[in-house]
Amino acid sequence: MLQTGIVLDARYQDHNPGPGHPERAERIGTLLSRFASYERDGLKRFEPRRATHEEIALVHDTSLIGQVAASAGLEAAAFDADTRVSAQSYETALLATGGLLTLLDAVMEGEVDNGFALVRPPGHHAERNRAMGFCLFNSVAVGAQYLRERFGLSRILVMDWDLHHGNGTQHSFYDDPGVLYLSTHQYPYYPGTGAAEEAGQGSGEGYTVNLPLSAGWGDAAIVPLFEEVIDPICRQFQPEFVLISAGFDAHARDPLGGLTVTAEGFTALARILLRVARDQAQGRCVALLEGGYDLEGLETSVIHVLDEMAGGRLDHPLPAYERQGLLTNVRAVQQRHWELPAAG
Ligand SMILES: [Zn+2]
């Protein structure tokens, strides 16, 4: 039995992007209700701390931090058409990134084996100097940089299985071989980035891996893709820490996307990544909630991934999927030659 840390706090409901917005407080509310009655051995709840400006600045320009900070106390403000904030959004965003850092500390200090930061707002679209796509600060990018600066790690894997491409995370490490960024996402779709040809630059060439998926892809395509393509790439890299940008908007019930992943599919993706963490990263793996806008799909998927993190089933076989039809898509992706440059 592994020890799993979670961060989940009522204050994550305080950011309000406006009426009718899919990235709404109820996403946290439904998880709080579920966890009020969810008991499992090995689960440890952590109080999140606020990230400091210095930590946010590991990835972001101080001008962006200033812009978000300036919105504090305002009833409403907008960074773009999708990215609106309210009086408490700045505080909530600091607490979201800080919630991830709380769990990174807990894992690195050996208090728990792995963890899941159940926070909002999400982060992976936030660019160095720009809030966008519901995201204010890029928590997972800050977390990757934090692991290097604070703990001296040199190889961080960021797996982003959100429906959308994590443009901000990709750009944070595009020329950086110390962070391997892998993304599966519906394509073409918001935000428009994430073509397979985007593969890093300079000494980071080969350390960005985009696996764009067609609408309609579900478990039978994405699980084999993780087994046959993503797992070997991760193992070539030999990560010292596995971060997951865990959005659940690729779920079949989600209103924003056209992928058809189920909670059982997310279980399989988690198992594959947790095995990589176990074999190469001393088990160190922390997931961060990104998107996921159907409350039932979100709640069920989060519980499935957390159950997997408990570790008792890591050696169980993955479900056998009927791959006919969609397997040709997997093969098309595999025909690309994903060979990482020699570590240096
Ligand atoms: Zn998303």
Domain with residue 261: its CATH number is: 3.40.800.20
Q: Is residue 132 part of a domain?
A: yes
Q: Say whether 251 is catalytic.
A: no
* Cα-to-centroid distance, 153 and ligand 1 (Å): 28
Q: Which distant-in-sequence residues (6+ apart) come within 8 Å of 141 by Cβ?
A: 59, 123, 124, 126, 158, 168, 169, 172, 173
Q: Is residue 230 part of a domain?
A: yes
Q: Is residue 343 part of a domain?
A: no
| DSSP letters for 93-140 | HHHHHHHHHHHHHHHHTTS-SEEEE--SS--TT-BTTB-BTTBSS-HH
Instruction: Please identify which of the residues 15, 60, 125, 185 carries the catalytic annotation.
Output: 125
* Cα-to-centroid distance, 155 and ligand 1 (Å): 25
* C-beta neighbour count of 13 within 10 angstroms: 17
pLDDT-above-90 percentage for the chain: 84
* Cα-to-centroid distance, 206 and ligand 1 (Å): 24
* Cα-to-centroid distance, 112 and ligand 1 (Å): 28
Structural domain tally of the chain? 1
What is the model's pLDDT at position 340? 56
Of the candidates 297, 291, 233, 308, the one whose C-alpha atom is nearest the C-alpha of residue 261 is: 297
Domain around 316: 4-334
* Cα-to-centroid distance, 36 and ligand 1 (Å): 26
Residues of the chain under the 50 pLDDT cut: 324-332, 334-335, 337, 343-344
Q: Is residue 303 part of a domain?
A: yes
Query: What tens digit of pLDDT does each residue of 309-336 get?
Result: 987 799 999 888 765 444 444 444 544 5
Query: What tens digit of pLDDT does each residue of 238-273 get?
Result: 999 999 999 999 999 999 999 999 999 999 999 999
Q: Is residue 344 part of a domain?
A: no
* Cα-to-centroid distance, 164 and ligand 1 (Å): 4
What is the model's pLDDT at position 229? 87
Beta-ladder partners of 135: 132
Contact 213, 227 (CB under 8 A): no
What is the model's pLDDT at position 321? 78
Q: Is residue 291 part of a domain?
A: yes
